[in-house]
């Protein structure tokens, strides 16, 4: 049985991109251990980027689409910056997310709890849960206080 030759850097990058969108910085981090010749990784990524396989805007939109229903603005901002995306684009996306922060927090709260906190301990638990998801303090207070008002 013949052994297959190792994948080229471009092949590895395409395999990663086939699973989900990756930023250039993510691909550099993941593929650096496989670079045998200095400069070959940058060359391969340049080629993929020029052909449209690597697109920072698509990465940004993909993260927003996948994560905004479950996470708050702060967590999404942290994730986008961690992917090495341009800070200007990240800040613009964060501003758009802030407009829907309370509604998104309310939906996450409703799925998890669905009823107002019965006591201070439960209220704290609900506040901490939403904070761990990256929602801002004002949105959290409005959602949990609104739940108590509704009930």
**Run of H or E residues at 30:** helix 24-31
Q: Which two tokens stand for residue 122?
A: 């439960």
Q: What is the pLDDT of residues 102-145, one digit of tens each?
A: 999 999 999 999 999 999 999 999 999 999 999 999 999 999 99
∠ CA(95), CA(101), CA(104), 5° rounding?
135
Query: Domain 101-150 belongs to what topology?
Result: Arc Repressor Mutant, subunit A (1.10.10)
| pTM for the model | 0.84
Domain boundaries, the chain: 7-54, 56-99, 101-150
Q: What is the pLDDT of residues 53-83, one digit of tens each?
A: 999 999 999 999 999 999 999 999 999 999 9
Instruction: Identify the CATH assignment for 7-54 out of 1.10.260.30, 1.10.10.10, 3.90.550.10, 3.40.50.300.
Output: 1.10.10.10
Cα 144 to Cα 107, 123, 130: the distances in Å are: 12, 7, 9
Tell me, yes or no, if the two domains 7-54 and 101-150 fold the same way: yes
Mean pLDDT score across all residues of the chain: 93
SS (H, E, C) 59-106: HHHHHHHHHCCCCCHHHHHHHHHHCCCCHHHHHHHHHHHHCCHHHHHH
């Amino acid at each position: 049985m013949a052994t297959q030759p190792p994948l080229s850097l471009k092949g590895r990058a395409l395999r990663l991109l086939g699973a989900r969108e990756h930023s250039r910085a993510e691909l550099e981090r993941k593929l650096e251990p496989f670079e045998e010749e200095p400069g070959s990784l940058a060359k391969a990524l340049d080629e993929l980027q020029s052909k449209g396989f690597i697109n920072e805007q698509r990465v940004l939109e993909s993260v927003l689409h996948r994560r905004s229903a479950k996470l708050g603005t702060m967590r999404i901002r942290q994730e986008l910056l961690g992917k090495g995306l341009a800070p200007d684009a990240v800040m613009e996306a964060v501003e758009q997310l802030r407009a829907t922060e309370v509604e998104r927090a309310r939906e996450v709260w409703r799925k998890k709890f669905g009823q107002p906190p019965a006591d201070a301990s439960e209220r704290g638990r609900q506040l901490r849960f939403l904070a761990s998801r990256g929602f801002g303090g004002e949105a959290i207070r409005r959602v949990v206080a609104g739940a108590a008002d509704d009930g």
